[in-house]
Structure 1
Amino acid sequence: MTSIPVIAIFDIGKTNKKFFLINEYYKIVLERTTAFAETTDDDGDPCEDVAMMKQWVADTLHDALSQKKFDIQAINFSTYGASFVHLDKNNEVTAPLCNYLKDFPEDLKQEFYSKHGGEARIAQETASPVLGNLNSGMQLYRIKYRKPELFDRIKYSLHLPQYLNHLVTGKYYSDITSIGCHTQLWDFKKNTYHDWVYQEHIDRILAPIFPSDKVDVLEIEGHPRAVGVGLHDSSAALIPYLANFAEPFVLISTGTWCISLNPFNNNVLTPDELTKDCLCYMEYHGRPVKASRLFAGNEHEQQTKRLAAHFDKPGFYYKLVAYDPDLVPSAQAVTTNGADQPLLKQSAFVDRDLNTFKTYEEAYHCLIADIMQQQKASTDLAIQDTQVKRIFVDGGFSKNPIYMNLLAKAFPHFEVYAASVAQATAIGAALAIHKYWNNKPLPADMIELKYYAVAQNIEI
């Protein structure tokens, strides 16, 4: 029996840990998912269980390599960001993986910014809003000053994707997609680590940077295999779109956050944009991707619970609501001016009296209309004066016909598409090293698109 050539991808989320085998046509031929119970760090706060993850990676890869049905040509990794694994000189994990939601000490924060030029300057030069532990560089600063004995033990601090690479290759690398994503480590103008990293000698525990689109070829269980360095998940999820579309576009990636990503915007972030939660991601070739974030998915979750309770409907009822253009004018009539609403706070809907709505359907259209005011303002920050004429939406809101139709109305001069890539993060990690394991052309059906037209107010 001829074995199927595949690439193996580890895709590590905060909740679910996934493993995929993907064939040369970018179809998933094997998928495994698990979840780990959290452990606690040395302060008693919840954190990732790195030991359990390490064992799962080893067992899963060994099992996949032993299956004669598949010929694993390459391996790559994608994970959530803002997370370091700290290794000592014996290659042992020497500290817990800090949860990026952990509170950052206010006094240490003030000390850092007063020493290194202030919040506004650091944020602008590193294209990173001030986010505490979500600025993963601040985790290293905290270790240096609050746990100096640990800092002295660290040989390398590896971002989580590169730790997974280390588990397979034994090598120590850094990767630009992790370094360049709201870490406050990278100076986007100088295209090197920020001065504070050198001044604090943080650079000594950061491994050499390895290109995100290159591989090491190593013998693993008796056969040579190409191993990628691993990528930050947001950057990986953008790759299928960059691979398939040459014309400028914005991708609105929707989930808990709605992130508008514009790989075609080279404008420097302004202090005002940083206060509105704009930032730069780094795509896998090392080019900045201007982005804006909106907490709209979280608001949608909270407000649909409120609607369900008020109208005595099940929590999922919003999924049954069809788009009704006749309800949009009434929704817009009770919608206040978007300019009066703080962009990154909750929309106007949070203060609405639900008794003014006759039906769940009317109220839900109003909720999406209010969210759309915020979405329009947020996405405009990413588009700016670029030549973008297409907007792709993936994630949860891409399946919401009310959101999609109102987005088309909000951007009448753009082509608006609901887009779907099965496991986009894993597919992106495979695409990043395509040429090292796959000699077939990229398939044309990798991304499913649904076009939303304004004039007809219908999905085509």
Structure 2
Amino acid sequence: MNVVAIFDIGKTNKKVFLFDENYKIVWEKSVNFQETVDEDGFPCENIDLLTSWIQERLSEIKGLTAYVLKAINFSTYGASFVYLDENGKVLTPLYNYLKEYPESLKKEFYDTYKGEEIFAVKTASPVLGSLNSGMQIYRLKKEQPEVFEKVKYCLHLPQYLSFLLTGQFFTDITSIGCHTNLWNFKKMKYHKWLKKEEILPKLPPLHYGKDVIKNEEGLAVGIGLHDSSSAMIPYTINFTEPFVLLSTGTWSISMNPFNNKRLTFEELDQDCLCYLQYTEKPVKAARLFAGNEHEVQAKRLAEHFQVPFDTFKEVYYDKKIISNLRALNYNFAVSGDVEEDILTNCPFSERDLNQFKSYEVAYHQLILDLIEQQVFSTNLVIHNSPVKKIFVDGGFSKNPIFMNLLAEAYPNIEVYAASMAQASALGAALAIHENWNPNPLQNDLIDLKFYKH
């Protein structure tokens, strides 16, 4: 059986899948690694451990007699650079994008390049410190000039993994185009600060996501993709009329590939950004820390009502509870200007749990409050574009209360829970389809469940 191998590297879970020619998963392995620390003692990915795990899994796959390996690709978390010297040796730890960025260095950077507002609008990158991966290179140059001197190439993580198998250095547009501070979205080329800081020569040439490199064994190896952009690929292949994909996990990210209006500073300030698809088209996106908030509040509810943490999995949508809560809501005081900081503060965090007679009622209120935030966030990318459908994937797609309330909030848009095994891995496989799979692309890769409002 002909297969493609996809390494799907998240911050927590590292997975590898074999997909057959019909894009069904026929084999998989996963692992969690203990983090190591960088020179400042800050936790970070153990790049040596990751490298050897990938090489071991590849040897294992090649030894599987039931499968013929035709191609390999990578989908990984973004915002992390690997720095290599001229011999391809890794020079630094894989710094964590959650690491605090020095205020003085940030100020120096934005003061030099026309200030936060103008710069953020040009690069479609909210000011996020280390999460703007270009700022990591700037920091390396300023704080460790002797190491920076030795750097031959800066590779985002997916391209480093590809290099391990091909020995070739490339840059991929989906990794460059996700809030990195590197790309000028107006001119669709690198921002000029990279030339000024002598960083540009250290970024290898751009390579198209659908093209592959043939390695010594004749295997087709992709150059890897940023996981958020990769997860969008199955949808853009399957659906042509305008849609928004609401990808839910720790973050809820609303992505609209049909909104090409340039971002304003106000939108950037509300955690909007742009991703670039592997076809180089921009995707407008808005982020909300909703999955994280759900976890925090579910713990609070479990403690208050003295029930197990995951009790919410047994709570089903109850229309009556919702209408009672709406009728009562004017009595539930929520302090502060909710509209003003709706994206950063979930109204539920302010609520007195003694006002709820049961866990079930309180949980419905939590989802009502999360939906209020979600609608505000998603509207930032729907704005002025003819969206016909919203697809929800990830954790919240399995939550009937969330899905019913979302459908109710958008009476003129069709709302679907979408389920697909491993969207970002599947996207990375589909991106290189024509290089390994003789069959036509299928249009039944996504299972949809429609929610009536």
TM-score interval, normalised by the smaller of the two chains: over 0.9
User: Alignment partner of 1:419: what SS?
Assistant: strand
AA partner of residue 400 (structure 1): N
Gaps of 5+ in 1: 455-460
Kept in 2: contact 1:299–1:346 (CA 8 A): no
What's 2:277 paired with? 283
User: Partners in 2 of 1:339 and 1:247 — Cα distance?
Assistant: 34
Kept in 2: contact 1:74–1:437 (CA 8 A): yes
Kept in 2: contact 1:76–1:429 (CA 8 A): yes
TM-score where L is the length of structure 1: 0.96
What are the within-5 Å matches in structure 2 for residues 22-421 of structure 1? 22-220=19-217, 224-333=218-327, 334=329, 340-421=339-420
User: Partners in 2 of 1:52 and 1:61 — Cα distance?
Assistant: 14
AA partner of residue 438 (structure 1): N
What's 1:457 paired with? none
User: Partners in 2 of 1:278 and 1:138 — Cα distance?
Assistant: 19
User: Partners in 2 of 1:406 and 1:210 — Cα distance?
Assistant: 42
User: Partners in 2 of 1:343 and 1:381 — Cα distance?
Assistant: 13
Kept in 1: contact 2:415–2:452 (CA 8 A): yes
AA partner of residue 415 (structure 2): V
Tell me the percent identity: 57
Kept in 2: contact 1:338–1:374 (CA 8 A): no
User: Partners in 2 of 1:326 and 1:372 — Cα distance?
Assistant: 17
User: Partners in 2 of 1:331 and 1:249 — Cα distance?
Assistant: 31
AA partner of residue 58 (structure 1): Q
User: Partners in 1 of 2:339 and 2:288 — Cα distance?
Assistant: 16
TM-score where L is the length of structure 2: 0.97
More off after superposition, 139-148 vs 39-48: 39-48
User: Alignment partner of 2:232: what SS?
Assistant: helix
User: Partners in 1 of 2:181 and 2:372 — Cα distance?
Assistant: 30
What's 2:446 paired with? 447
Structure 1 residues 128-181: Cα deviation after superposition (integer angstroms, max 9, x where no partner): 100000000000000111110010010001000000000000000100000000
User: Partners in 1 of 2:433 and 2:157 — Cα distance?
Assistant: 22
Structure 1 residues 334-366: Cα deviation after superposition (integer angstroms, max 9, x where no partner): 166996351321211111111111111111111
Gaps of 5+ in 2: none
- Number of equivalences: 448
Structure 1 residues 42-87: Cα deviation after superposition (integer angstroms, max 9, x where no partner): 1221111111111111111122112221111111001000001110
Task: Report the Cα offset of residue 330 of structure 1.
Answer: 2.6
Kept in 2: contact 1:341–1:347 (CA 8 A): no
Structure 1 residues 2-54: Cα deviation after superposition (integer angstroms, max 9, x where no partner): xx100011111111111111000000111011122111111221111111111
Kindly report the root-mean-square deviation, in angstroms, between the aligned alpha carbons of the 2 structures: 1.2
Kept in 1: contact 2:80–2:96 (CA 8 A): yes
AA partner of residue 393 (structure 2): D
Structure 1 residues 363-421: Cα deviation after superposition (integer angstroms, max 9, x where no partner): 11111111111111110101111111100000000000000000011101110000011
